[in-house]
Chains A and B, each alone.
Chain A
Amino acid sequence: MNQDIQGRNEVLRLHGEMTIYRAGELAQQVLSALRQQPLPHIDLSEVTEFDTAGMQILLLAHRFAAASEMRLAIVNPSECVREVLTLCNLTHLIDAQAELAS
């Protein structure tokens, strides 16, 4: 997992599996990004596997951002992420605008 700095936006790029095996570690990273950054971007283009645990983290992050009126952008979902989100009717989590911007 890398934390890239791209322009003004700090992008948290998640790599590899986003599953139960790494859920604890990933949740920590996502949540600390949320706490520290004003405009967090989570880039999912390098995610190779995505399960319920992964989806749960996105849902939690999304809800936290909404509650604290912060703008969270989940961008560039990889194929497997998109498949799950489509199946679950959760494609609204993806920020298409920010995707274009970044």
Chain B
Amino acid sequence: MNVDSALPTFVSESRELLREMEAALLACEQGNGDSEAINAIFRAAHTIKGSSGLFGLEAIVAFTHVVESVLDRVRAQTLQLDRELAAVLLECRDHMENLIGSVASNGDARSQELDTIGARLLERLAAVSGGTGTAAVTASKAPADIARRNVETWQISVRFHADVLRNGMDPLSFIRYLATLGSITALRVIDADLPEIDRFDAESCYLGFEIGLSTDADQQKIEAAFEFVRDDCTLRIAPQSQPTAVVPKQSEPKQSQSVSPQREGKQREGKAAKEAKGADNRSIRVDGDKLDHLIDLIGELVTAGATTTIAARKAGLSELNESTLRLARLVEEVRDQALKLRMVQIGPTFSRFQRIVRDVAREIGKEIRLEISGAETELDKTLIESIADPLTHLVRNAIDHGIETADVRRGRGKDAQGVLRLNACHDSGSVVIEVADDGGGLKRERIIAKAIERGLIADGSSLTDSQAYALIFEPGFSTADQVTNLSGRGVGMDVVKRNVAALRGTVELESREGQGATVRIRLPLTLAIIDGFLVGVGNACFVIPLELVEECVELGEEGRSIDEECRYINLRGAVLPFIRLRDLFAVQGPKARRESIVVIRCAGKRIGIVVDDLLGELQTVIKPLSRLFSRLRGIGGSTVLGTGQLALILDVPSLLEQTLSTRAPGISAQPMAEAATEHGPAS
């Protein structure tokens, strides 16, 4: 095994384990920890120690070993995992994460600073757990307990498979752990399988053990001692009163469904372990760059496919047409599947907030519970990565300013413990992520007063509630009475808005004074490819995201003749504001004889877009605009059509926002037109 190339895998796997460990520790701290959680914590520490050993990371092994021994006692139920211990263990976990982080960046976990922190933590751990003495402490304690309970003697027969050592397990540690369950009355090492010296492989295990164990633990618990080597050993446990011949490698049907008794054959015992393993094996790690490259290629494939389809149609060969259609359908499926590869559940991102909520709430002395729903909602990996920061801002804001202190809450007749909710769901082609709290909500007057003070508005009386709330997304706006070290410095909400907008998303805010506030982030499902609706204006082509298109209607004489200032029509009795792309982007070219309106629904609002031609649906690979056009609003990207022509993709949410705000006097569409001309030469 090439150790260096495996290091990144070690780092990422360890981080994953540490996340599980954190979740389980938090559950334990809140009193919701069961044996499953304790096992998860132990497993994380155990595995990290084992793998660190393989890489020779002594600092991690040494530290984790102490943590593991404490956890071992928790697992053996000789030590109670209470709040205090869980809190220290959480800090130990953090230290392990730092150690691993240091390995990831410097290739080594040794540094003066880390060593000092580690030593201090271990001292505290020793204080809380009553000494970090390992097996010896518990072993001497356990037999005393045994006298009181139902003690039985078990015959344990275990044969380790050849790979157990290579898998980072030391059979001796399981024997030592058994000693903590009771007292070992007999132990014999079975070395019958040791080969001749020239066939001896020092890294293979050839040993087995026959152990007599006197304990009050039941069979399940004894089996659990071997949980980590289930796949790497053949285990047989029987009460000694029931005399059974000890035959190596012959298994009782009850405990193992061994198919192949041969030595290399992997024998799996314990259904749960087997299933868990199965689930592990179903997923593989893929380098993110490879995936991005694949998506990129598929994007090109989609474009090339479109070109072929057009060429085939022009050629007028029915056979060719048929096969290109079949090809197009396959490409579409491949595209969908490839995009799904990038989809990951938001759950782990949400779970990370358990810790943030706990730490922050504790720091500022509030009682807050985090509720998570919709954790299984999937969205593009890039989006998940980019949304974590804005979410953190929102969560901190809600904890800091939203939820009141326990005293205030009691005074208002609320439950002393505040609730913060994170929710995610799919909603017509986009993902909605909500951060909701049951705190004080936003205070309209305070926001308006502050906005006037900052010179953002002149007078707030005409603003609707949602317009007033939207002010907090303005740069440099903060209404917190108190500046804490978490938030309240006036940065945050504007950053959130900017980050979300960069992902082609929107932010909405809903609030009820005294009852809480909800921030709703709406994001597209993916960033790479969209189903688009192609429209033509003059000689230019534009793409509208298809999922937003509601219907297309012809713009009648009534709509064309009305004066330019009044931009709305009567659509079956409802008012529909509309914009002309021709005016908006100052498109040159002769006016078309007929015009159509594409009706679009976005974020609960409807708007019509007036275009010359409706050119139909197409799959569109989004090519981001260069940084030169980053300030350009209303355009989200570009795409190359099958004909080689360039089409601009409309950024409908920002278009909508701008159009609706241009209806207010004083702001004109002028900048847009300039920007469009500026963009002209590139297309």
Interface residues, chain A, with chain B CB atoms under 8 Å away: 20-21, 23-24, 26-27, 31, 34, 51-53, 55-57, 59-60, 63-64, 84, 87-90
Contacts and interface: CB of A to CB of B under 8 A. Distances in A.
22 contacts: A20-B165, A20-B166, A20-B170, A21-B54, A24-B201, A24-B203, A27-B200, A34-B197, A51-B172, A53-B203, A55-B189, A56-B202, A56-B206, A59-B189, A59-B194, A60-B191, A60-B200, A63-B194, A87-B176, A87-B179, A88-B172, A89-B188
Given A51-B172, A60-B194, A27 B207 contact: no
B485 to A, nearest CB: 45
A20 B168 CA distance: 9
Contacts of A21: 53-54, 56
Residue with the highest number of chain B CB atoms closer than 10 Å, among A51, A56, A60, A89? A56
Contacts of A26: 202
B175 interface: yes
B170, B200, B201, B202 — most chain A CB neighbours (10 Å): B202
Nearest to B164: A52
A54 to B, nearest CB: 9
B352 to A, nearest CB: 35
A87 B189 CA distance: 10
Contacts of A24: 201-203
A87 B176 CA distance: 8
B390 interface: no
B171 interface: yes
A74 B160 CA distance: 25
A90 to B, nearest CB: 6
A35 to B, nearest CB: 9
For B54, B187, B191, B201, the residue with the greatest tally of chain A CB atoms inside 10 Å of its CB is B191
A52 B174 CA distance: 11
Contact of A64 (B172, B197, B202, B203): B197
Interface in B310-331: none
Contacts of B394: none
Contacts of B207: 52, 55-56, 59
B172 A20 contact: no
B205 A56 contact: yes
Contacts of A84: 172
A52 B53 CA distance: 15
Most buried by A among B175, B187, B191, B197: B197
B205 A52 contact: yes
Contacts of A52: 160, 165, 170-172, 205, 207
Given A20-B170, A63-B194, A53 B202 contact: yes
A60 B224 CA distance: 30
Interface in B158-210: 160, 165-166, 170-172, 175-176, 179, 187-189, 191, 194, 197, 200-203, 205-207, 209
A59 B172 contact: no
A51 B53 CA distance: 13
Contacts of B202: 23-24, 26-27, 53, 56-57
A72 B200 CA distance: 19
A53 B330 CA distance: 54
Nearest to A53: B165
A55 B189 CA distance: 10
Contacts of A64: 197
Interface in B202-239: 202-203, 205-207, 209
A36 to B, nearest CB: 13
A87 B194 contact: no
6 closest residue pairs by CB, A with B: A23-B202, A27-B202, A51-B170, A24-B202, A52-B171, A20-B165
